[in-house]
A and B are shown apart, each in its own frame.
Chain A
Amino acid sequence: MDEYSIGVLTNIGLFSFLALSAYLLLIAGEMSFGQQAFFGVGAYSGGMLTAIYGVPLPFAALAAMASGALVALLVGLPTLRLRGLYFAMATLAAAEMARILFELLHFQHEIDGELVGPDGTQGFRGIRWVFERGVEPLDYLAIVYSLLVTVLAAFLLVERSRLGVTLRSVGADPELAASIGVNVNRMKLGVAAAAGALAALGGVLYAHHNTYIEPRNFDIMLGVHSLAYALIGGLGTAFGPLLGVLVDLGLLEGTRVFQGYRMIVFGGLVAVLLLFRPRGLLDERVVHWLRARFS
Protein backbone atom coordinates (compact mmCIF):
# COMPACT_ATOMS: atom_id res chain seq x y z
CA MET A 1 0.00 0.00 0.00
CA ASP A 2 1.43 3.40 -0.94
CA GLU A 3 1.93 6.17 1.58
CA TYR A 4 -0.92 8.27 0.20
CA SER A 5 -3.48 5.48 0.60
CA ILE A 6 -2.23 4.84 4.13
CA GLY A 7 -2.63 8.56 4.85
CA VAL A 8 -6.21 8.62 3.53
CA LEU A 9 -7.14 5.49 5.53
CA THR A 10 -5.56 6.97 8.68
CA ASN A 11 -7.58 10.16 8.20
CA ILE A 12 -10.77 8.09 7.78
CA GLY A 13 -9.95 6.34 11.07
CA LEU A 14 -9.20 9.61 12.89
CA PHE A 15 -12.39 11.29 11.65
CA SER A 16 -14.36 8.23 12.76
CA PHE A 17 -13.63 8.97 16.44
CA LEU A 18 -15.07 12.45 16.00
CA ALA A 19 -18.04 11.11 14.04
CA LEU A 20 -18.81 8.54 16.75
CA SER A 21 -18.54 11.30 19.34
CA ALA A 22 -21.19 13.38 17.52
CA TYR A 23 -23.31 10.24 16.96
CA LEU A 24 -23.30 9.42 20.69
CA LEU A 25 -24.83 12.81 21.47
CA LEU A 26 -27.29 12.54 18.56
CA ILE A 27 -28.76 9.26 19.81
CA ALA A 28 -29.14 10.91 23.22
CA GLY A 29 -31.19 13.57 21.44
CA GLU A 30 -28.63 16.39 21.37
CA MET A 31 -27.04 17.97 18.29
CA SER A 32 -23.59 19.34 19.10
CA PHE A 33 -21.69 21.68 16.79
CA GLY A 34 -18.81 21.73 19.25
CA GLN A 35 -17.16 18.30 19.30
CA GLN A 36 -14.12 19.79 17.54
CA ALA A 37 -13.27 21.56 20.81
CA PHE A 38 -12.72 18.24 22.62
CA PHE A 39 -10.79 16.94 19.61
CA GLY A 40 -8.57 20.03 20.09
CA VAL A 41 -8.29 19.52 23.86
CA GLY A 42 -7.11 15.95 23.21
CA ALA A 43 -4.64 17.08 20.54
CA TYR A 44 -3.13 19.86 22.69
CA SER A 45 -3.03 17.99 26.01
CA GLY A 46 -1.72 14.74 24.50
CA GLY A 47 0.79 16.61 22.34
CA MET A 48 2.10 18.61 25.31
CA LEU A 49 2.49 15.48 27.44
CA THR A 50 4.57 13.59 24.86
CA ALA A 51 6.49 16.49 23.28
CA ILE A 52 7.33 18.50 26.41
CA TYR A 53 7.25 15.99 29.26
CA GLY A 54 8.19 12.81 27.36
CA VAL A 55 5.16 10.87 28.62
CA PRO A 56 4.64 7.67 26.56
CA LEU A 57 1.85 8.03 24.00
CA PRO A 58 -0.49 5.39 25.53
CA PHE A 59 -0.49 7.23 28.89
CA ALA A 60 -0.74 10.61 27.17
CA ALA A 61 -3.77 9.32 25.24
CA LEU A 62 -5.45 8.24 28.48
CA ALA A 63 -4.74 11.62 30.07
CA ALA A 64 -6.03 13.40 26.94
CA MET A 65 -9.25 11.37 27.10
CA ALA A 66 -9.67 12.32 30.77
CA SER A 67 -9.11 16.01 29.86
CA GLY A 68 -11.64 15.75 27.02
CA ALA A 69 -14.21 14.16 29.34
CA LEU A 70 -13.63 16.78 32.04
CA VAL A 71 -13.94 19.72 29.65
CA ALA A 72 -17.04 18.15 28.06
CA LEU A 73 -18.54 17.78 31.53
CA LEU A 74 -17.81 21.44 32.31
CA VAL A 75 -19.39 22.52 29.02
CA GLY A 76 -22.30 20.10 29.48
CA LEU A 77 -23.24 21.27 32.98
CA PRO A 78 -24.64 24.64 31.84
CA THR A 79 -25.46 23.83 28.18
CA LEU A 80 -27.41 20.59 28.67
CA ARG A 81 -30.15 22.63 30.37
CA LEU A 82 -30.89 23.97 26.89
CA ARG A 83 -32.80 22.12 24.19
CA GLY A 84 -32.58 21.71 20.42
CA LEU A 85 -31.24 24.66 18.49
CA TYR A 86 -30.27 26.52 21.69
CA PHE A 87 -28.03 23.63 22.77
CA ALA A 88 -26.49 23.47 19.27
CA MET A 89 -25.73 27.22 19.39
CA ALA A 90 -24.29 26.96 22.91
CA THR A 91 -21.94 24.13 21.91
CA LEU A 92 -20.81 26.10 18.88
CA ALA A 93 -20.08 29.12 21.11
CA ALA A 94 -18.17 26.91 23.58
CA ALA A 95 -16.09 25.44 20.74
CA GLU A 96 -15.21 28.90 19.44
CA MET A 97 -14.19 29.92 22.97
CA ALA A 98 -11.93 26.86 23.13
CA ARG A 99 -10.38 27.74 19.76
CA ILE A 100 -9.67 31.29 20.95
CA LEU A 101 -8.14 29.89 24.15
CA PHE A 102 -5.84 27.73 21.99
CA GLU A 103 -4.83 30.97 20.21
CA LEU A 104 -3.90 32.48 23.58
CA LEU A 105 -2.04 29.41 24.81
CA HIS A 106 1.75 29.90 24.94
CA PHE A 107 3.62 27.17 26.75
CA GLN A 108 6.98 26.42 25.20
CA HIS A 109 9.97 24.56 26.57
CA GLU A 110 13.42 24.21 25.01
CA ILE A 111 14.06 20.61 24.00
CA ASP A 112 17.27 19.66 22.13
CA GLY A 113 17.84 23.35 21.30
CA GLU A 114 14.35 23.77 19.84
CA LEU A 115 11.34 25.49 21.39
CA VAL A 116 8.55 22.94 21.64
CA GLY A 117 4.97 23.53 22.75
CA PRO A 118 1.89 25.58 21.88
CA ASP A 119 2.74 29.05 20.59
CA GLY A 120 -0.69 30.63 20.10
CA THR A 121 -1.61 31.34 16.50
CA GLN A 122 1.86 30.14 15.41
CA GLY A 123 0.72 26.62 16.26
CA PHE A 124 2.35 23.72 18.05
CA ARG A 125 5.20 22.04 16.16
CA GLY A 126 7.38 19.09 16.99
CA ILE A 127 4.87 16.48 18.22
CA ARG A 128 7.32 13.84 17.06
CA TRP A 129 6.72 10.97 19.48
CA VAL A 130 5.69 8.58 16.71
CA PHE A 131 8.56 9.58 14.41
CA GLU A 132 11.21 9.45 17.14
CA ARG A 133 10.19 5.89 17.98
CA GLY A 134 10.35 4.73 14.38
CA VAL A 135 6.65 3.83 14.18
CA GLU A 136 5.97 3.31 10.47
CA PRO A 137 2.81 4.76 8.84
CA LEU A 138 1.34 1.26 8.43
CA ASP A 139 1.95 0.54 12.14
CA TYR A 140 0.26 3.81 13.08
CA LEU A 141 -2.68 2.88 10.85
CA ALA A 142 -2.89 -0.43 12.76
CA ILE A 143 -2.89 1.44 16.10
CA VAL A 144 -5.67 3.80 14.94
CA TYR A 145 -7.87 0.98 13.62
CA SER A 146 -7.26 -1.28 16.65
CA LEU A 147 -8.53 1.50 18.88
CA LEU A 148 -11.42 2.21 16.52
CA VAL A 149 -12.48 -1.45 16.48
CA THR A 150 -12.33 -1.49 20.32
CA VAL A 151 -14.50 1.63 20.51
CA LEU A 152 -16.93 0.24 17.93
CA ALA A 153 -17.21 -3.05 19.84
CA ALA A 154 -18.01 -1.07 23.01
CA PHE A 155 -20.70 0.86 21.10
CA LEU A 156 -22.29 -2.33 19.77
CA LEU A 157 -22.28 -3.87 23.25
CA VAL A 158 -23.88 -0.78 24.79
CA GLU A 159 -26.46 -0.52 22.00
CA ARG A 160 -27.61 -4.10 22.69
CA SER A 161 -27.71 -3.57 26.45
CA ARG A 162 -30.29 -2.03 28.78
CA LEU A 163 -28.12 1.11 28.88
CA GLY A 164 -28.40 1.43 25.10
CA VAL A 165 -32.19 1.13 25.20
CA THR A 166 -32.34 3.73 27.99
CA LEU A 167 -30.08 6.03 25.97
CA ARG A 168 -32.31 5.82 22.89
CA SER A 169 -35.40 6.36 25.02
CA VAL A 170 -33.82 9.55 26.44
CA GLY A 171 -33.08 10.67 22.87
CA ALA A 172 -36.57 9.86 21.60
CA ASP A 173 -38.61 11.34 24.45
CA PRO A 174 -36.79 12.69 27.53
CA GLU A 175 -40.04 13.49 29.40
CA LEU A 176 -41.36 9.95 28.94
CA ALA A 177 -37.96 8.51 29.96
CA ALA A 178 -37.97 10.69 33.10
CA SER A 179 -41.51 9.53 33.92
CA ILE A 180 -40.33 5.90 34.12
CA GLY A 181 -37.50 6.80 36.49
CA VAL A 182 -34.56 7.58 34.17
CA ASN A 183 -32.33 10.37 35.47
CA VAL A 184 -32.19 12.20 32.14
CA ASN A 185 -29.77 14.95 33.24
CA ARG A 186 -27.25 12.51 34.69
CA MET A 187 -27.54 10.29 31.61
CA LYS A 188 -26.93 13.23 29.25
CA LEU A 189 -23.96 14.46 31.30
CA GLY A 190 -22.45 10.97 31.17
CA VAL A 191 -22.99 10.84 27.42
CA ALA A 192 -21.42 14.31 26.98
CA ALA A 193 -18.34 13.24 28.97
CA ALA A 194 -17.98 9.95 27.05
CA ALA A 195 -18.38 11.81 23.74
CA GLY A 196 -15.73 14.33 24.87
CA ALA A 197 -13.31 11.53 25.76
CA LEU A 198 -13.88 9.89 22.39
CA ALA A 199 -13.28 13.11 20.47
CA ALA A 200 -10.13 13.74 22.56
CA LEU A 201 -8.81 10.27 21.67
CA GLY A 202 -9.22 11.16 18.00
CA GLY A 203 -7.45 14.47 18.66
CA VAL A 204 -4.40 13.00 20.39
CA LEU A 205 -4.00 10.46 17.58
CA TYR A 206 -4.39 13.23 15.00
CA ALA A 207 -1.73 15.42 16.64
CA HIS A 208 0.79 12.57 16.61
CA HIS A 209 -0.05 11.66 13.02
CA ASN A 210 0.36 15.21 11.79
CA THR A 211 3.25 16.34 14.12
CA TYR A 212 1.81 19.88 13.99
CA ILE A 213 -1.45 21.41 15.20
CA GLU A 214 -2.83 24.93 15.29
CA PRO A 215 -6.05 26.52 16.56
CA ARG A 216 -7.50 26.78 13.04
CA ASN A 217 -7.46 22.97 12.77
CA PHE A 218 -10.31 22.94 15.30
CA ASP A 219 -12.69 25.48 13.79
CA ILE A 220 -16.38 25.16 12.91
CA MET A 221 -15.69 23.30 9.63
CA LEU A 222 -14.52 20.29 11.61
CA GLY A 223 -17.62 20.42 13.83
CA VAL A 224 -19.98 20.64 10.86
CA HIS A 225 -18.28 17.71 9.13
CA SER A 226 -18.35 15.56 12.28
CA LEU A 227 -22.09 16.12 12.60
CA ALA A 228 -22.58 15.52 8.88
CA TYR A 229 -20.85 12.12 9.13
CA ALA A 230 -23.40 10.86 11.64
CA LEU A 231 -26.32 12.36 9.70
CA ILE A 232 -25.14 11.06 6.31
CA GLY A 233 -24.16 7.62 7.59
CA GLY A 234 -27.33 7.18 9.61
CA LEU A 235 -28.50 7.09 13.20
CA GLY A 236 -29.58 3.47 13.33
CA THR A 237 -26.24 1.95 14.32
CA ALA A 238 -22.67 2.93 15.27
CA PHE A 239 -21.61 1.75 11.80
CA GLY A 240 -23.56 4.74 10.43
CA PRO A 241 -21.02 7.47 11.33
CA LEU A 242 -18.21 5.30 9.96
CA LEU A 243 -20.11 4.95 6.70
CA GLY A 244 -20.59 8.73 6.78
CA VAL A 245 -16.83 9.29 7.03
CA LEU A 246 -16.25 6.84 4.19
CA VAL A 247 -18.84 8.57 2.01
CA ASP A 248 -17.48 12.03 2.88
CA LEU A 249 -13.80 11.31 2.33
CA GLY A 250 -14.63 8.96 -0.56
CA LEU A 251 -16.60 11.74 -2.27
CA LEU A 252 -13.85 14.27 -1.55
CA GLU A 253 -11.19 11.98 -3.01
CA GLY A 254 -13.46 10.84 -5.87
CA THR A 255 -14.30 14.38 -6.95
CA ARG A 256 -10.67 15.53 -7.25
CA VAL A 257 -11.18 15.71 -11.05
CA PHE A 258 -13.34 18.80 -10.38
CA GLN A 259 -10.32 20.49 -8.73
CA GLY A 260 -11.34 23.91 -7.34
CA TYR A 261 -15.06 23.15 -7.77
CA ARG A 262 -15.01 19.86 -5.90
CA MET A 263 -16.35 21.32 -2.65
CA ILE A 264 -19.39 22.64 -4.55
CA VAL A 265 -19.88 19.22 -6.15
CA PHE A 266 -19.40 17.56 -2.77
CA GLY A 267 -21.91 19.87 -1.07
CA GLY A 268 -24.48 19.20 -3.83
CA LEU A 269 -24.06 15.44 -3.48
CA VAL A 270 -24.50 15.62 0.30
CA ALA A 271 -27.66 17.76 -0.13
CA VAL A 272 -29.15 15.25 -2.60
CA LEU A 273 -28.29 12.37 -0.25
CA LEU A 274 -29.99 14.00 2.74
CA LEU A 275 -33.03 14.90 0.62
CA PHE A 276 -33.72 11.24 -0.11
CA ARG A 277 -32.39 9.81 3.20
CA PRO A 278 -33.13 12.41 5.92
CA ARG A 279 -32.02 10.11 8.77
CA GLY A 280 -28.98 8.91 6.85
CA LEU A 281 -28.09 5.83 4.87
CA LEU A 282 -28.19 3.39 7.79
CA ASP A 283 -31.30 4.73 9.52
CA GLU A 284 -33.34 2.80 12.12
CA ARG A 285 -35.62 1.27 9.45
CA VAL A 286 -32.73 -0.11 7.38
CA VAL A 287 -30.98 -1.42 10.52
CA HIS A 288 -34.21 -3.12 11.65
CA TRP A 289 -34.66 -4.67 8.18
CA LEU A 290 -31.04 -5.88 8.12
CA ARG A 291 -31.35 -7.39 11.62
CA ALA A 292 -34.58 -9.16 10.71
CA ARG A 293 -33.02 -10.54 7.53
CA PHE A 294 -29.69 -11.69 8.94
CA SER A 295 -30.45 -12.74 12.52
Chain B
Amino acid sequence: MAKSALFLILGLLSFPLHAQRVQAGLACTFTGTDFVYDCVVRLARGGSPLAGAQVTVGADMPSMPMAHNVKPAKAKPGARPGEYEARLDLEMTGEWAVKLRLSGPVRDQLVLHYEFDEKGARPAARPAKRK
Protein backbone atom coordinates (compact mmCIF):
# COMPACT_ATOMS: atom_id res chain seq x y z
CA MET B 1 0.00 0.00 0.00
CA ALA B 2 2.71 2.47 1.08
CA LYS B 3 4.88 1.31 -1.85
CA SER B 4 2.03 1.91 -4.34
CA ALA B 5 1.42 5.35 -2.83
CA LEU B 6 5.15 6.19 -3.16
CA PHE B 7 5.17 5.10 -6.84
CA LEU B 8 2.04 7.17 -7.45
CA ILE B 9 3.60 10.29 -5.89
CA LEU B 10 6.85 9.78 -7.87
CA GLY B 11 4.75 9.30 -11.01
CA LEU B 12 2.95 12.59 -10.40
CA LEU B 13 6.27 14.42 -10.10
CA SER B 14 7.90 12.72 -13.09
CA PHE B 15 8.35 13.85 -16.69
CA PRO B 16 5.61 13.07 -19.21
CA LEU B 17 5.55 10.04 -21.47
CA HIS B 18 5.83 11.78 -24.83
CA ALA B 19 3.65 10.19 -27.45
CA GLN B 20 2.11 11.42 -30.66
CA ARG B 21 -1.35 12.80 -30.09
CA VAL B 22 -4.37 10.90 -31.39
CA GLN B 23 -6.79 12.58 -33.79
CA ALA B 24 -10.43 11.53 -33.67
CA GLY B 25 -13.49 11.93 -35.86
CA LEU B 26 -17.07 10.88 -35.29
CA ALA B 27 -20.00 10.01 -37.55
CA CYS B 28 -23.37 9.16 -36.01
CA THR B 29 -26.67 8.11 -37.56
CA PHE B 30 -30.06 8.29 -35.89
CA THR B 31 -31.46 4.78 -35.35
CA GLY B 32 -35.13 5.81 -35.41
CA THR B 33 -35.50 5.17 -31.67
CA ASP B 34 -35.64 8.35 -29.58
CA PHE B 35 -32.14 9.67 -28.78
CA VAL B 36 -30.35 6.45 -29.85
CA TYR B 37 -27.48 6.84 -32.34
CA ASP B 38 -25.12 4.40 -34.05
CA CYS B 39 -21.69 6.00 -34.11
CA VAL B 40 -18.45 5.28 -35.93
CA VAL B 41 -15.30 6.65 -34.30
CA ARG B 42 -12.25 7.14 -36.55
CA LEU B 43 -8.89 7.27 -34.82
CA ALA B 44 -5.54 8.19 -36.36
CA ARG B 45 -2.06 8.83 -35.02
CA GLY B 46 0.66 10.46 -37.08
CA GLY B 47 -1.60 10.29 -40.15
CA SER B 48 -2.15 6.51 -39.98
CA PRO B 49 -5.26 4.74 -38.67
CA LEU B 50 -4.96 3.66 -35.06
CA ALA B 51 -6.05 0.03 -34.86
CA GLY B 52 -6.19 -2.28 -31.84
CA ALA B 53 -7.25 0.34 -29.32
CA GLN B 54 -9.89 -0.26 -26.68
CA VAL B 55 -12.37 2.57 -26.93
CA THR B 56 -15.23 3.51 -24.64
CA VAL B 57 -17.64 6.19 -25.80
CA GLY B 58 -19.51 8.30 -23.27
CA ALA B 59 -21.23 11.67 -23.44
CA ASP B 60 -21.70 14.59 -21.06
CA MET B 61 -23.91 17.63 -21.26
CA PRO B 62 -21.62 20.67 -21.35
CA SER B 63 -23.34 22.23 -18.31
CA MET B 64 -23.13 19.91 -15.28
CA PRO B 65 -20.97 17.27 -17.03
CA MET B 66 -20.42 15.37 -13.79
CA ALA B 67 -24.12 14.78 -13.21
CA HIS B 68 -25.73 14.78 -16.65
CA ASN B 69 -24.03 12.08 -18.62
CA VAL B 70 -24.75 8.77 -20.28
CA LYS B 71 -23.24 5.45 -19.37
CA PRO B 72 -20.15 4.86 -21.57
CA ALA B 73 -20.41 2.07 -24.14
CA LYS B 74 -17.51 -0.11 -25.25
CA ALA B 75 -16.85 0.33 -28.96
CA LYS B 76 -16.30 -2.67 -31.25
CA PRO B 77 -13.71 -2.65 -34.06
CA GLY B 78 -15.35 -1.35 -37.24
CA ALA B 79 -15.15 -2.28 -40.90
CA ARG B 80 -11.84 -0.50 -41.56
CA PRO B 81 -8.62 -0.16 -39.56
CA GLY B 82 -8.88 2.72 -37.12
CA GLU B 83 -12.68 2.56 -37.05
CA TYR B 84 -14.69 1.68 -33.97
CA GLU B 85 -18.47 1.33 -33.65
CA ALA B 86 -20.61 2.12 -30.63
CA ARG B 87 -24.26 2.84 -29.87
CA LEU B 88 -24.99 6.01 -27.91
CA ASP B 89 -28.22 6.20 -25.94
CA LEU B 90 -28.60 9.90 -25.10
CA GLU B 91 -31.23 11.48 -22.86
CA MET B 92 -32.21 14.25 -25.25
CA THR B 93 -31.23 15.99 -28.46
CA GLY B 94 -28.89 19.00 -28.47
CA GLU B 95 -25.21 19.49 -27.85
CA TRP B 96 -23.26 16.71 -26.17
CA ALA B 97 -19.56 16.46 -25.35
CA VAL B 98 -18.68 12.98 -26.62
CA LYS B 99 -15.89 11.55 -24.49
CA LEU B 100 -13.61 8.93 -26.06
CA ARG B 101 -11.49 7.04 -23.58
CA LEU B 102 -8.67 5.09 -25.20
CA SER B 103 -6.59 2.28 -23.77
CA GLY B 104 -4.40 -0.43 -25.28
CA PRO B 105 -1.59 0.83 -27.56
CA VAL B 106 -2.30 4.39 -26.42
CA ARG B 107 -3.93 5.81 -23.30
CA ASP B 108 -5.76 9.07 -23.80
CA GLN B 109 -9.07 10.82 -23.45
CA LEU B 110 -10.53 12.96 -26.22
CA VAL B 111 -13.59 15.18 -26.03
CA LEU B 112 -15.57 16.04 -29.18
CA HIS B 113 -18.55 18.39 -29.25
CA TYR B 114 -21.44 17.29 -31.46
CA GLU B 115 -24.99 18.46 -31.99
CA PHE B 116 -27.46 15.54 -32.04
CA ASP B 117 -30.91 15.64 -33.64
CA GLU B 118 -33.22 13.46 -35.76
CA LYS B 119 -30.90 13.81 -38.76
CA GLY B 120 -27.84 12.49 -36.95
CA ALA B 121 -24.88 14.34 -35.49
CA ARG B 122 -22.64 17.15 -36.67
CA PRO B 123 -19.82 19.10 -35.02
CA ALA B 124 -21.29 21.69 -32.67
CA ALA B 125 -21.14 25.27 -33.89
CA ARG B 126 -19.50 27.57 -31.36
CA PRO B 127 -19.52 31.37 -31.31
CA ALA B 128 -16.67 32.83 -33.33
CA LYS B 129 -13.45 33.75 -31.52
CA ARG B 130 -13.41 37.34 -30.29
CA LYS B 131 -10.53 39.35 -31.72
Binding site for B on A (CB under 8 A): 3-4, 7, 11, 14-15, 54, 56-58, 104, 106, 112-114, 119-123, 125, 128-129, 131-135, 139, 142-143, 206, 210-212, 214, 216-217, 219, 221-222, 225, 248-249, 252, 256, 259-260, 262-263
Complex Cα distance, B18 from A211, in Å, reads: 16
| Contact B16–A132 (Cβ < 8 Å) | yes
Interface centre among B9, B56, B64 (most CB of A within 10 A): B64
Instruction: Find B107's partner among A131, A249, A256 (CB 8 Å cutoff).
Output: A131
State whether A222 touches B64 (Cβ < 8 A).
Answer: yes
Within 8 A of A (CB), among B1-58: 5, 8-9, 11-14, 16-19, 21, 34-35, 56, 58
Q: In the complex, what residues of A have CB within 8 A of residue B8's CB? A: 135, 139, 142-143
A225→B12 contact, CB < 8 A: no
Contact B64 A120 (CB under 8 A): no
Given contacts A15-B66, A106-B129, contact A135 B12 (CB under 8 A): yes
Partner of A217, one of B9, B19, B63, B107: B63
Query: Nearest Cβ distance between residue A218 and chain B, in whole angstroms?
Result: 9
Number of A-B residue pairs with CB-CB distance less than 8 Å in the complex they form: 100
Q: Complex formed: what's the CA distance from A73 to B23 in Å?
A: 41
Known: A132-B19, A211-B109; 7 extra A-B contacts, CB below 8 A, are A4-B71, A11-B66, A15-B66, A54-B16, A129-B16, A133-B12, A211-B111
User: Which residue, B9, B65, B97, B99, has most C-beta atoms of chain A within 10 A?
Assistant: B65
User: A58 near B12 (CB under 8 angstroms)?
Assistant: yes
In the complex, which residue of chain A has the Cβ closest to the Cβ of B92? A260
**A112 near B12 (CB under 8 angstroms)?**
no
1/0 per position for B60-96, CB-CB distance to A under 8 A?
0011111110011000000000000000000110000
A266 to chain B, nearest CB (A): 9
Interface centre among A15, A57, A113, A139 (most CB of B within 10 A): A139
> B118 interface residue, CB < 8 Å from A?
no
Interface: B130 (CB within 8 A): yes
Task: State in angstroms the CA–CA spacing of A216 and B94 once bound together.
Answer: 14
Would you mind naming 18 contact pairs between A and B with Cβ atoms under 8 Å apart? A4-B71, A7-B72, A14-B66, A58-B13, A113-B21, A122-B126, A125-B111, A132-B16, A133-B11, A133-B17, A134-B107, A135-B8, A142-B5, A143-B8, A217-B64, A222-B63, A260-B92, A262-B91
Decide yes or no: A206 and B66 within 8 Å by CB, A3-B72, A131-B107, A132-B16 being known contacts.
yes
| Cβ of B104 under 8 Å from chain A | no
B72: A residues at CB distance < 8 A = 3-4, 7
Q: A14-B66, A114-B21, A212-B111 are in contact. Are A135 and B11 (CB under 8 A)?
A: yes
